[in-house]
Amino acid sequence: MRVTASAVSLNVDDVEASASFLKRHFGFTEAMAADGFVSLARPDVGFNVIYLRTGLKTLKPESLKTRRADGLIVAFVVEDIDAEYARIQAEGVKILTPIETEAWGERYFQVADANGVIVQLVQWMHAPGAAAS
């Protein structure tokens, strides 16, 4: 198998609200859109984030029509978590989980868009699996 592109597709009630959140606060741009659908990209992410309106007639299988992106975390690894935290706070975004560092080296914080999709920014303070200094 040869993979030529990748994406994560999330079912949300308000596609534009979620898309606007990623565009405004995380620098994504619209790659394509149609009624009830938007695909967002950033050249440094490696995958597109797609929002699909819940109940969209074209969703297959049928069971997807009523499911939402509840409980899902979209995580992005960044180079300077503290600068990103300050930037997001200055933009007035509500912080769900304030910045913290786990024992295994993951320093992160979480925010959510209008549909409740959680976006987590992460910086590894030491290589995953490596002992902390």
Q: What is the CATH number of the domain that holds 38?
A: 3.10.180.10
Identify the CA nearest to 117 among candidates 46, 47, 26, 31. 26
In angstroms, the CA 42 to CA 3 distance is 18
The pLDDT of residue 87 is 97
Spatial contact of 124 and 106, defined as CB atoms under 8 Å apart = yes
The answer to the question of residue 132 being in a domain is: no
The answer to the question of residue 83 being in a domain is: yes
Q: What's the residue count for the chain? A: 133
Reduce the DSSP state of residue 84 to 3 states and report it.
helix
Q: What is the residue range of 12's domain? A: 6-124
Q: Count of domains in the chain?
A: 1
Looking at residue 12, its amino acid is V
Condensed to tens digits (0 to 9), the pLDDT of residues 36-73 reads: 999 999 999 999 999 999 888 876 666 665 666 677 88
In angstroms, the CA 101 to CA 121 distance is 12
The answer to the question of residue 119 being in a domain is: yes
> What Cα–Cα distance (Å) separates residue 122 from each residue in 102, 105, 115?
11, 10, 21
The answer to the question of residue 24 being in a domain is: yes
Condensed to tens digits (0 to 9), the pLDDT of residues 105-128 reads: 999 999 999 988 999 999 998 765
The pLDDT of residue 127 is 67
Identify the CA nearest to 114 among candidates 65, 58, 69. 69
The pLDDT of residue 126 is 78
Condensed to tens digits (0 to 9), the pLDDT of residues 7-40 reads: 999 999 999 999 999 999 999 999 999 999 999 9
The answer to the question of residue 130 being in a domain is: no
